[in-house]
Chain A
Amino acid sequence: QKEVEQDPGPLSVPEGAIVSLNCTYSNSAFQYFMWYRQYSRKGPELLMYTYSSGNKEDGRFTAQVDKSSKYISLFIRDSQPSDSATYLCAMSASGSEKLVFGKGMKLTVNP
């Protein structure tokens, strides 16, 4: 079993849809949970960052962490074509910058 599992998709949705992206993990030591967005031919950029369990909201984006289920989610409300990108979840045990990544989910939002 891989440490971090993420469905690579691809996922295609109409503009305005609510998008749900998920990752599961096996290492209970993970405490830091990140979502990165990666546009084509660009490096990943940090979108959301959560420590331990709970929710975090930033504009149209909400990150949720359920440590009891070892499950994290990213919700995108009112999705826009500009949200079309690959979304990667990443985790760290100690806050160290050594990250363990999911495979990334390619999202397309159609106008």
Chain B
Amino acid sequence: GAVVSQHPSWVICKSGTSVKIECRSLDFQATTMFWYRQFPKQSLMLMATSNEGSKATYEQGVEKDKFLINHASLTLSTLTVTSAHPEDSSFYICSASSSGQGIEKLFFGSGTQLSVL
């Protein structure tokens, strides 16, 4: 299957700093990328949907000024957690799909575990 690379796999940062997470599609053009967050013992929750070249669409309750998403190319989307606080500590995972390919062609990255001290 197609490969989505997510980096870093884990990061520890101090409160108040910003952290950038990258999501790359390695062998297909990802017209749409999704960012999820998962707290311990909870479901993967969709944070936002990004289409290449457009502003991201955020789910209700997700602060767009805190979670900056950039999808400037067909192979790369980034999520920046700005001024991170301990409550932002979570598992973040991206998924990517190519236009018109449907759910079966949705591929996930390996996730990033963020710990904010």
Instruction: Give the Cβ gap from B81 to chain A, nearest Cβ, in Å.
Output: 19
Judged by a CB distance under 8 angstroms, whether A88 is at the interface is yes
Chain A residue numbers with a CB within 8 Å of B46 are 98-100
How far is it, in angstroms, between the C-alpha of A74 and the C-alpha of B106 when the chains are bound? 20
- A25 and B97 alpha carbons, distance in the complex (Å): 25
Given pairs A4-B43, A34-B103, A97-B106, 10 additional interface contacts (CB within 8 A)? A2-B43, A36-B108, A43-B110, A49-B104, A88-B44, A98-B46, A98-B49, A100-B43, A101-B36, A103-B42
Chain A residues proximal to chain B, CB less than 8 Å = 2, 4, 6, 8, 32, 34, 36, 41-46, 49, 88, 92, 95-104
Chain B residues with a Cβ closer than 8 Å to the other chain, count: 26
**Residue contact A101 to B103, C-beta cutoff 8 Å:** no
B61 at the interface (CB under 8 A from A): no
Tell me if A46 and B106 are in contact (CB < 8 A): yes
Q: Are A43 and B108 in contact (CB under 8 A)?
A: yes
Asked if A41 contacts B110 (CB within 8 A), the reply is yes
- CB contacts under 8 Å to A, within B1-30, are 1, 4, 6, 9
Give CA–CA (A49, B105) in the complex, Å.
11
Residues of chain B lying within 8 A (CB to CB) of residue A101? 36, 43-45
Check A43 against B107 for contact (C-beta < 8 Å). Answer: yes
Q: Is the CB of A43 within 8 A of B109?
A: yes
Q: Which chain B residue lies CB-closest to A32? A: B103
- With both beta carbons as reference points, the residue of chain B lying nearest to A89 in the complex is identified as B43
| Distance from A85 Cβ to chain B, minimum over Cβ atoms (Å) | 14
Question: Nearest residue in A to B109 (C-beta to C-beta)?
Answer: A43
**For the complex of A and B, 3 pairs with smallest distance between CB atoms:** A43-B108, A101-B44, A101-B43
Task: Establish whether residues A44 and B43, one from each chain, have CB atoms under 8 Å apart when the complex forms.
Answer: no
